[in-house]
């Protein structure tokens, strides 16, 4: 019974295309995140939503647009894909920090390859 699930796990596409990655969590968490992990394994926060409200919006190209239809889902849509977008994208969730350690629970990652 997967706690944080992402689809698809692998995505190969051409430059210029538009693609989406979906994420769902069944942990009852309030907060969800998108991270990008580059080829050197460095983790970079992209977005975070708390109860469908955007709370972290780091400096990423506006080709990246998150959407949270409800607090259990956070999807990532990428327009006009570029070579530099190739990476592993991780979805994660946590309880709100107050009264908890705020540890993250991660999905398995979605490896995006742009040709």
Partner 1 sequence: AQTVTQSQPEMSVQEAETVTLSCTYDTSESDYYLFWYKQPPSRQMILVIRQEAYKQQNATENRFSVNFQKAAKSFSLKISDSQLGDAAMYFCAYRGGSNYQLIWGAGTKLIIKP
The single residue among 50, 68, 75, 93 that binds partner 1, judged by CB under 8 A, is 50
Q: Assess contact for 25 and 72: CB atoms under 8 A.
A: yes
Q: Assess contact for 45 and 101: CB atoms under 8 A.
A: no
Does 84 participate in binding partner 1 (rule CB under 8 A)? Answer: no
- Tracing tokens 């926060």 back to the chain, one arrives at 45
The single residue among 19, 20, 52, 104 that binds partner 1, judged by CB under 8 A, is 104
**Within 61-80, which residues bind partner 1 (CB under 8 A)?**
none
Distance of CA 51 to the CA centre of its chain: 15
Does 99 participate in binding partner 1 (rule CB under 8 A)? Answer: no
Does 56 participate in binding partner 1 (rule CB under 8 A)? Answer: yes
Residue 67 Cβ vs partner 1, minimum distance, rounded to whole Å: 19
Sign of CA dihedral 95, 96, 102, 103: positive
SS3 state of residue 84: helix
Does 34 participate in binding partner 1 (rule CB under 8 A)? Answer: no
């Amino acid at each position: 019974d997967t706690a944080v699930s992402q689809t698809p796990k692998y995505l190969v596409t051409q430059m210029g295309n538009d693609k989406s990655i979906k994420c769902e969590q069944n942990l009852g968490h309030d907060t969800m995140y998108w991270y990008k992990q580059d080829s050197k394994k460095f983790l970079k926060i992209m977005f975070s939503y708390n109860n469908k409200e955007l709370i972290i919006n780091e400096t990423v190209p506006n080709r990246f647009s998150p959407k949270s239809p409800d607090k259990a889902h956070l999807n990532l849509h990428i327009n006009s894909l570029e070579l530099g977008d190739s990476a592993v994208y991780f979805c994660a969730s946590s309880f709100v920090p107050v009264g908890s350690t705020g540890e993250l629970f991660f999905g398995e990652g979605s490896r995006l390859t742009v040709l």
